[in-house]
Amino acid sequence: MVKLKEISGFKMGYAVFGMEVTGVYGLVLMNTLTKMKGKVVVEPAMRIKNSLGIIRGKNDKLDAARIARYLIKNLPELKLWMPRRKIIDELSSLSTLRERMVRVNKMITTPLYEDDGFIEAGISSANIKLCNQLMVDSKELIKNVELKIRMLWEQDERCSRLMKVMLSVMGIGDVIALKILIHTNEFRTITTARAFASYCGVAPFAYDSGTSVKSKAHVSHVANKKIKSLLHNAVRTCIGFDPEIRAYYKRRVEVDKKNKMSIMNSIKFKLIWRVFACIRQDRLYEKGYVSTKPVLLV
């Protein structure tokens, strides 16, 4: 930052700082630049690379020059990075910690119980006994992290309201609601259902060209697969407990003979639409809700 001030004629208000998405590793620089009233653009490396055509070679200087080219080329369309509130950073960190502990617990527990029936019973029991305390401690830690997460969002007025609205939608539980809250930056960065559906790999895209390339619309693999997986679990819950969605699923699969995964993807989009509609109107989800706003006739 000291070197920036040494540049003759440099004015922070006329500069745009660009960088690739690097997770937590870029947060210090991004927050520092924001405090200095700098304009910061943070883009995925793939988006920058795909926008520059055929490129060869790679090193830090080349990458910096390519990011600069990207910024100049797309200046009118650039979206400035929006810093998150401290509570969202806390929730994000705790959410990541919970995921790690769930993975650790699964890595220990699953193989131990899979051994049952395949190796001598005494050996299997001894192994389980040796790891029992670790399994108990990991479950207790997961529970404590979840309690801490809930305490945090309940104490914040905005987060509490957003979470309660999302949780009112059938199939949306604490874990997925928290993920949506974090990855949309409280619905400030991602503001529409379509954009979020694209982000988590639910929105289908056309794939055809001329007369020779014809294919059904399909989802992109460039997506947040974790949220998509959580949405899949939400859909399974809805099929089991939501009469409207269960009837839709059965009709499309059993009567129309559509692919099950395709229909489940449609239901995922429906759940996303419900969440964003309720957030936009600041209301809890109601079955059969009809808007009372007047309709303008043109």
Domain positions in the chain are: 2-77, 86-155, 170-298
How far, in Å, CA of 13 to CA of 216, rounded? 47
Q: What is the pLDDT of residue 125?
A: 85
- Average pLDDT for residues 77-85, to the nearest whole number? 89
Q: Who has greater pLDDT, 219 or 282?
A: 282
pLDDT in tens, 274-291: 999 999 999 999 887 666
- The whole-chain average pLDDT of the chain stands at 88
Q: Which long-range contacts (CB under 8 A, 24 or more apart) does 107-116 make?
A: 108/134, 108/135, 108/138, 109/135
Judge whether 36 and 1 are in contact, CB under 8 Å. Answer: yes
Q: What is the pLDDT of residue 153?
A: 96
pLDDT in tens, 37-48: 889 999 988 888
Best CA proximity match to 38, nearest among 29, 46, 47: 29
How far, in Å, CA of 13 to CA of 19, rounded? 18
Q: How confident is the model at residue 294 (pLDDT cuts 50, 70, 90)?
A: low
How far, in Å, CA of 40 to CA of 17, rounded? 5
Q: How confident is the model at residue 4 (pLDDT cuts 50, 70, 90)?
A: confident
